[in-house]
Every structure is written in structure tokens, then in C-alpha cells.
Structure 1
Amino acid sequence: MLRQYELVERVKAYAPDADEALLNRAYVYTVQKHGTQKRASGDPYFSHPVEVAGLMTDLKLDQETIITALLHDTVEDTLATIDDIRANFGPEVARLVDGVTKLSKIEAMPEDERAAENLRKFLLAMSEDIRVLLVKLADRLHNMRTLHFIKSPDKRRRIARETMDIYAPLAERVGMYEYMREMQLLAFEQVEPEGYQTITGRLEQIRRQDGGQVDSIALAIKQALAEAGLKVEVWGREKHPYSIWRKMAERHVSFEQVTDIMAFRVIAENEADCYRAMGVLHQTWQFIPGRFKDYISTPKNNGYRSLHTSLIYENSMRVEVQIRTREMHRTNEFGLAAHWAYKQGDRPDGAVGWLRDLIEIVDASHDAEELLEHTRLAIYQDRIFAFTPKGALHQLPKGSTPVDFAFAVHTDLGAQTLGAKINGRHMPLRTPLGNGDVVEIIKGKKAEPQLSWLGFVVTGKARAAIRRSVRLKERAEVALIGSKLFDEIAALLPAKIGKKAIREAVKRLGLEDEEALMYAIGSAKLEDREVMEALVPGSTAELPDRTDWSGQERVISIRGLTPGVGFQLAECCRPVPGDRIVGLRKAGEGVEVHAISCFSLASGIDADWLDLSWGNRSVGALGRLRITLYDRPGTLAEMAGIFAQNVANVKMLQQVQQDHPFSTYEVDLEVQDLAHLTRITSALRASDAVAQADRI
């Protein structure tokens, strides 16, 4: 553990103007507050924040970040408060400590919610100040280094999985590859212990048997470049064990079939020398087509810059070579932290453009599960490069489509997408993009995101925006249905209802506005009695209780028929009481009753038309719905629960289509009337389990 004077000396070495007294006070404060607390290793607890602060000094971060690292657990684990921090160390440190603390308060949440909720708070805190992320990543890295002291295997695996799913990818996205690789290695050991032991064992075996082969290849590369007049540094290593494991899993190959186990790094003096070195290597050894990548001219979103190539060395051995300058190397290993300079007020912007997309995803996601899905899509996946017609470059995950591209350019462009041209040719919106494609988006002012796009988009930003748009559209439709039902409810009241009565009703029901009232009515969240009582208090006192008609005998009566004439409700349109209806009478047959809007009426049926209406309160009509559910556990049960809550008897249920991630069903429901069927449809549309619900 770093001693007090050692920590201060580290900071003063790169920041001579740092407030030594403030740093000393922060060190003493964390030691006093954590007192006799112990870690799982048996070490004093304050050793952890001190080590995290040490990691921050390795990155040469400002004194506020160092002090935040020292204090980051005091509010969560001791009696200290944010007000105490503010009084002793100033408002900036208090804000940073508060940001890190908020990320730690969800440890007691259920496991299925924890990762997503952690991520939500994480992203929002990062949007305030990226230093919160840097401290949290160092905090997680040190916790991973001491993870083996935790006795519970399940807890170790949970922490390792969360690290693999969230923290390591985030470290990569801000370019902190050193942190990412160490986190992945430590998490890999816990999540896949057998795989870890196998691969590290084989790598150790290679090291014992290669007789200094890595060094000899590095020397050969350096000599070839020196002969060309290039002054470079070269070193080699085996590839990261987790990287090998992932390649084995993705390609379904054994360890022996992974050919490029060795990787070499060339450090050149300037950018021009990087390209010269690449040319020399390609002239000296055969390079593997398709494996050359130029991240100098087109850097990754996180600022990573380097040339990558794969060569066939002697004995058909494949080796990977990365060529970069020293400045590129530092930025590549430590990312944002490598050039973060708060004392000059510098705020790197391009390197965190992806962060703005993540914040949009937070706003658009409906629940924790959806947020986690969208964000994982945003922080994972290999990238491709595509261009706008004006030459603007956009990086996207492999498999991205023109719709993903449109949302990457701008959310509004994605929402207005009608079609796309790829390299000048009209192509379907589901077409996967390739490296270097020029994509022109054709838009329309009245266009809107389609639910079917969820079947092929791959970016988290696109999926979140599409789902949000679909939900808003459904909400508007439900509110429109609610306003029609409201008119029916208002007609039962003894007084005419004006705007003032509606405003008062909204207040009594605890809703935001009139639209929220209509939505609540349309989605069956409010009973008629509740609405009536809110509009005119005392108006329901004389009304009888709602009739429970679910067990009544099925009785349908039709006005306009000759007594004794039989009839049947048409299968094609399934009319229910409340629909406008007509009868079709063929010679020698009974009367077939259709809804006036039935498409089959336009087909020129040879029959007499009868003007019909529904008789006294009819019970037990069958309405047919087409319902598209998200294909995940529990959605079918949730749909059945909505039917039960609305006292609707299911007479037929049939799956008619399965198109992952959706399943579509047709359902016949025994309903009271059109209003009853409308309420059920509204409740279905309001459910998170339902993607779409329509009457057939």
C-alpha cells in the first residue's frame, strides 16, 4: 500500500502546483473514517481507496480526481456525508464523490436488476463528468485484483460477469486497453476457470518450448526496418488469453487452429515512418489479404490509432504486427485518461461522442432489461466504416443496416427514413453494410419508425429510438380510444362536463394532464365509476354495482329480423355489439350478420341486404384479435392475465407466426360489446409484453 508521502510525491512529480496540504488531509480523512474496517483479504479497508488513488496517479490525473479516489467509499461505507466532503474538500470533489457513490448504492438490488440499474446510473453520472468513470474503472480494477479473497464462488462469478459485461467494454470504449485487458483476464479466470487454466497452461508450454522465438522474431523485424533506415522499438508477446478464448469460441476452433498466437508492436518516431515500416514489412514477408487495417487515417471512436497487419513468417507461422508512434501508444493504452488535462480546461469531445448516444439510449429505454440490451449493443461489437455522400465517416457495429446508419447520423434522420441507396444503388433497408460503403438515406417528412425494423437493426441507439417511437404512437392511439370512451362515461352523468370539471378530475386522480386521463381510460387503468366520481363527486352513489356477466348465458339479439328467422355472425369480421351491422340473406339460407366496415361486403355478394341493429344488452359475442408478443418468458402469461383482469373468456388461441424476437397469435374472446373489446385492446397495447395488438 502507498504511504502518505509516497502518494503526495507521485502527484507533485507531474503536478508541482498541487495542493500538498489538501492531499494530506484527504489521505488522513479516509484512514480515519474507514478506521478498523477490514477487506476480505484481511487488509485495512483504507488500503483500497489508497491503491485506487495510486492508479489515478499512474494516469497523471488532476488532484481533484486523486482526492475523489481517496474518498470514493467514505459516504457509502462510513458516517461521512456529502456535506462533510463539500465542507472539507470543496464543491467539485463533493460532486465527483457523489457521482461515484451513486454507482455503489445498488449493490443490494436483486441480481437480475442490478447490472442494468448500475449501468443507468453509471451513464448518467458519466455524462456529468467523465472523471467519475475513470475513478470507477480504477475502483473495479483494484477490486478484481483482490477478487480471489472473496470466499463465495457465486459472488466471485457475479462480480466477474458484471466486470466482463459492463466495465471492461466501457474501459475499451474510452480507450483504456490496459485496464480492459487486465479486467478481462481476471474475470475470465472466474467465469471460465477450465478455459482459463487450459489456455494459460498452453501459453506457458509454448514459452518453455519456443527457445526465445518471440525475441528472435522481434529482432528480425527490427533488423529489417533498421536496414531501411527506420529507427524503431519492437517487442512481442503472446496474445491475451481471453482474446484467444473468444476467437476459439467465435470460430469454433481448437487452440491448435488459432494461428496468430503471437503479436508484435512496432513503435516508430512519426506517422510517416509508420507507413514506411508497413511497406518494408510487406516487402519482406507475405502479408495476409484482408487483415490490414489503417486506424491512423480512420481512428476508432475511442481515439485508438495504429496500423495493423498479419504476416506469414518462416515455417508458415502467422504473426500480427501493430505499428504506431509513442504518442499513439500512450493514448491507445490509457485512452481518455492519457490526454485529460483539467487544469487547462481541456475537454476531449470526439473521443466521447459515443457517450452522447448512450445517454440518448438511457432516455429512450423503457425498463432496466431493455436498457441493458441496448447499451450492450452500443458498447460491444467489432466495427465497420461507412460514409455519407458528402464523405463524413461513421463507425458502426458489423452487421449494421442503412437504418442503423441513419440513426447514427442523427436520430431525426433515422425516424424519417423511407429508403436507402448503397454505393448509388437502391437497396432494401435490411441490407448489411460493408466497409467503405457510401450510404444515402432517402427520407420523408411523414415517415416514422416501423416495428418491423427491430427484426434487423443491430445498434442499441436504433433499437431504443424505434421502440420509443412505437410506444409513443401506441400511447396516442390509446389516448384517442380513451377520449371516445370518456364521451360515453360523461353521457351517463347528471350534468354537462366542461374543461373545469376535467381539470379538477385530473387533480383528484393524481394525473399529469388531460392526455394522461384519456390514456388511463383507454388502457383500462381506471374504472368508469372512478372517472365519474372524479368528474362529479357523489354521482355514483345511486348506481348499481357493475354486473358480473362473465357467467351469464350467451345471448345475442338482433333487431330488424323477421321473427323466427335464424342468423349467424360472420366469421370474416366477427361483429360485436356496438359495431354498425347489416344482414345478408340468401335464398333458402339464414341471415349472415356483418359489420358495416367488413371488406367482404365490397365483393358483390348475391344477397338481400337488411338494415339491422343490436337488440337488448347482448352477451357473449366473439371478437378476434391479432396480438404480437415479445418472444421472451412470461409474455404469454401476461397476455392471459390481461384477459382475466378484463373478464374476457378465451374461446380460441392460435399461434400464426414466429419471427424472432416476436410471436404472433390470433385470439377469439367472448366479450360484452365493442367498448369491452376496445378496453382489452388498449390494455394489451399498454403492456410491455405486447408489441402490437389489433382487431381482425
Structure 2
Amino acid sequence: MNAGSVVSQQPVDVLALIDARLSRSSDSRARWDASRAAREATLDVLEPLATGVATRNAFLLHEADLCGCELDAAELQACGSDVVELVEGQRAAEKVWSLYAQRASPGAAEGLRRLLLAIIRDLRVVFILLARQLVRMRMAADLDESERRALAQLTSDIHAPLANRLGIWQLKWELEDLAFRYLQPETYRRIAQLLDERRSDREAWIAQARSLLQAALEKSGIKAEIDGRPKHISSIWKKMQKKGLDFSSLYDIRALRVLVPDVPSCYAALGVVHSLWPFIAGEFDDYIASPKGNNYQSLHTAVIGPDNRTLEVQIRSHDMHAYAELGFAAHWRYKEGGGGDASFERKIAWMRQLLESRDDANDDAALLAGFRTDVIDDRVYLLTPKGQVMDLPKGATVLDFAYLIHTSVGHRCRGAKVNGRIVPLTFQPVSGDRIEILTGKTQEPRRDWLNPHHGFLNTARARNKVRNWFRQADREINIAAGRAVLERELKRLALHNVELESLPGLFKVRSLEELFEALALGDISAGHIARILHEQKAENEPAPVRAEAVPVKHDSGKGALVIEGVGNLLTVLARCCQPLPGDSVCGFITRGRGVSVHRTDCRQLIRLRNLDPDRIIEVEWSGAGQRSYEVNLIVRGYDRKGLHKDVSNVIAAANVSVLVVDARVDPARNEVHMNYRLRVTDFAQLSKLLGQLQAVPNVIEAVRHA
């Protein structure tokens, strides 16, 4: 959906729509009326975020959901597709809350935060969730203690860190303080009392220090803005815990922030601070000269201020301050000591940068386009049956997921269910999918799992676990298995009467037995061996194509060769490297067979060039085109509904042309035999296609038919 369609959406009176639905249920009406105060308070929290009418409407519609008054699809769609997506995002979040309640371990909270961001594609949904939770926390005093603690724990684990990551500071600090108040009430009251006992004295002292520093800066000709930097109770407690200090020893209970025009002014202001008051050794950090890994820049120092009281001073330029307030300082790491990968932090920084647009956005369509962001596009966040969140690279399969759970689970994996539906082991899940791994009693991974063309494993971690299992198996079994793997691959590609003796030298192993063992362990690909054998066989059986005149056209009629300095010659397109139009090529004048045309990187050409360089001639393609050739395939499988469609979809996805297709059913064996004549561009494409066909559920074999 483009942003323009949202702007042109006809307005709908959402409250009237909800009211009409509420009139059908007295219970829903009662719940709606009872939640009025919380609803209005949430709208007040959302207002400063300038999230717009669509956000307000989506919030109200989901509130109606929670009151048992869910609109049907048609009614919801009438409110606009933008509103629909925001409502769906809130519904998805409700699933995360239910997962939180059954989380498997304390560390699951981070996974749930990432899952939430992965399944919600619009940041305005997060604004709604945070605003709603803040109001719930403000009203939590009316709940019983167990409910209050559960709500506070959810806020501490999920909502406050999300507000922190997104730079929504006015929500972050209040969420943190309220959660801390209910989770550690005695500690909260003690710190609050310590702060309150000398509040007026402390504020007067800060005002005095600010006045002294302002005068000193003005005397030095430095333009600066100085304000007191408020410290919140939860932040004070974290600092006490992190540094092992008591309340009276904290330097930043009393703190000033100095904003100046530029970098030179930062250091000039630092000099003024240190000349005005003695600084405390070990408490100075220069994050301008050496920015943090998240690009946070500022000068931090602690000094002995008036009356021998400690004072923390932060100095930064206006640009640095705006940068930090946007969230590029990655406060998640700085404040909470969390890890996090760099890719994820960059995406969070991008989302936080978008928040700046609410200050000066006059174009609603542009604003909406800015908010439409795929949050975590390089990872998928998946659920175990118990609700634990685990993540893998995008493109990982359910078999990769099995190995992520545990090595033994991967080895015993025999199938998988995604959201209750059985899927093949090559299935690639998406964020939010719940995966159940079906296991057998014995640990017997299949060697085909190591074949990249089959698509079973897409992570190095899982492949290494399978290789290690086979390395521990008996060597004779590995040799026999490797031989069988190669024989199947050669049969699949219709490569007969091939010579294997040269292979050990090419792969730097001592014997065919070692080659077969390496093949069984996945160190060497059967497809790679087959391609080499195909090239060797093709080179020994050239297929000449006589050209009547220069340029010389090859048999597909789709490309032409220009041979410099020669006339009417017999030309051979070398089978060893299968040159295609567009490839860089050279010619070799053979004895009695005309010019053999090779790719310039062909091993055979390199050998010929070393033997007789004078017989190398320049060859180039005269026009664009793509060479292709026909091949016959047989796909055999157990008959089921949709099998032919699935096979056809794989062929279509491989961008292969189908010339002829014929299928017949063998009722006695419950098998279907599909014969295809295809046009492929090269041997590698054929090999990959056969591997993909072999992975289709119910397919017994997919082989090339000579």
C-alpha cells in the first residue's frame, strides 16, 4: 500500500462505528464505559508524540476489541488499510504478552522484545503499546499486589527497554520508575526519601553552581546553555548497584549539562570547569576524541563543587545533544550494559532517527512512508512450543532450527510442524512462527542434508554439526556411503562411463577411498565432482559446428563469434567449459578440427596456452544472446494432490523453460512419473534444479534422462 492511498482515504467516524457495535452487547458497553478514564489518559500520552488520526483510531478500535466488541473485517477495512495494519499490529503484540506469561527463562525477555519488533512493521504500534502500558502502570495502585508485580515485571522486561531503544525518553523514565516502585518498594521508598529530605537544599545548591559556571563561561567568551540534569530513582539505583556505591557517594545526584556551539567550545568549557573546581581523578571521559562504538559523543567529568560537594558535568555541542537524544547513542548498551549485535543496533538507530520527523513533517504521506520500515530484516525470530524465542539468519530452515535447539534434536529430526502444519525440512519459517520438531529414537542424520542444492541446511553451524557426526562414524561406512552418493549423483545427471582415476589429484587426496570419505562427510560436493567429470567427458567428445562464413553462429542461433585474421574455418565450442555468449573467450587452432573456442578461465585453455601459445587467437562475440540446450528429466514420486503443481513451481522458480511435459500414474505403486523436456542455460543450473526437485515432498527421484 502506498502512502498516497492513506492520504486520500475517506474519514470514518470510528467512535460512531464502535458505539453502534456496543449497542448490541450490554457487557461490552459496561466494559467500554468502565475503561473511559484509562482510554482518555492513553490518548493524552499519545498526543505529544504527534502520531496522527490513524493511530488514535487504531487505538480506539483495539480498545473495543479488548472490551469484547471486535469489528468484522469489512467494518475494519472501511476505516482504511493503514488503520487495519495498526490494529493487526496491536493484536500481534497481545500474542507476545501471552508468550511472556509462559516464558521459559529469565533471558527470554530479550528474545520477546526482538520478536515484538520483528512482527510489528509500524513504529506507531509501539507508541500505542507504550502509552497504554504507562497508563496501566499509573493506575496499578488499585490492583492487588500479585497483579501489580506482574504488570511491573512486564513493564521492566519489555516496555521500558523498548522505550529506551526507540529514544522515547518521556515514556522511558516514567515506565522505569513505576516498575521499580512496585518491584522493589522498600528500596524505592528509601531512595525517594533520601532525595526528598534535602530536595530544596539540593536545588538551591544546583542553582548556585549553575550561576557560578554560567558567569565563568561568559567571562571566557563561551556561549553556553546550562541546565540541571534530572536523575530518576531507578537510574540512581542502577548506578549504585553498578559502581557499588552508597547514595551519598554518587557524583551525579547533583549534575549539570552544558550545551555549546561546537567542538572547540566543548574543550574550552571543560577548561573553565576544571579551573573553577578541582576535578576528581578517574572520573573524566572524553567521548568526543574517542566516541563510543555507538557514536555517542560528550565530555563527562566530576568535580568538587561549592561547599566540597561532588558535581557531575556533561559537556557537548548542540549537534551532539540532538544526535544523542535521537537515540544514535544506542542508550540500550550505554545505560543497560546489554550486548546486542551491530546490525540490530543500526536498525534501531534508524527507527529512532525517524522520530525526529514528527517535529517538522508537513506531508502526511511522506511521514507515513518514513514509518513503514521492516525492522529486523536479516534475522527471523521463532518460537518453541513452550514459547521460548530463538533467532536464526533469514533463509534458515526448520532443520537449522532443530540444530539450534540442540545437536541431538537435529540428528534425530524426522519432520517439523509450523503453526500446527506439517512442513518439509527445507521449509523456511518467518518471524513469529511456532515450530515443533518431530524426532525419531535414533540419531541418524542424512548425508543428503549436506548437499547445498537440496536446501536442507542453510547455516554453517548446523552443517558443521552434521559433518562432525559423520566424521565419527566408521571409515568403511563413510567410504561406501560416499561412493553411493557419487553414483546417485552421476545417475541423476545421466553421466555414464566416466573416468574417476584423475579425481584424487584434483582434490588433493591420496586415493579414491579418501575422496569418497570426504564426499560422505560433506567436505567435497558431489555436484562439484559431477561437473568436473562432465567437463572432462565433454572435452574428449567435442561437438563441432561448421560455420559457412565469419561471423560463426552456433547451433542455438542466438549468438555469433568473430574470429580475427582467419577465414572460413571449422569451429568447435569446447564442451570442457561450455562458453556462452557474453563470456570472455579465446580460440585455439587445433590440428584438423578447426578452432576450439574456450572461456578465458578454462583450465584446458591454460594448459594449451602453455603448450603452444602461437596457436592462441582472439575470438569475440559479435552480438548479444544466450546459449541454451535441451535436456530431458524424469521426476518420480508418490502420488498426492498438488505434487505436479509443486514440481512445476520449482521449475518455474528456477527460470527454466518447459518445452514438453508428460505425466502418467502407476496405480499399482501409487506413483506418478513426470517426463520433462527443458531448456537450461548450463550444467550448474541443471544440477541445482535436480537437487531442488529432489527436495519436493513425496518426490522419490529426479534424474536426467539421456
TM-score tier by shorter-chain length is: 0.3 to 0.5
Larger relative contact order (C-alpha < 8 A, sep ≥ 6)?
2
Larger Rg, first or second structure (1 or 2): 2
TM, length-normalised to structure 2: 0.46
TM, length-normalised to structure 1: 0.46
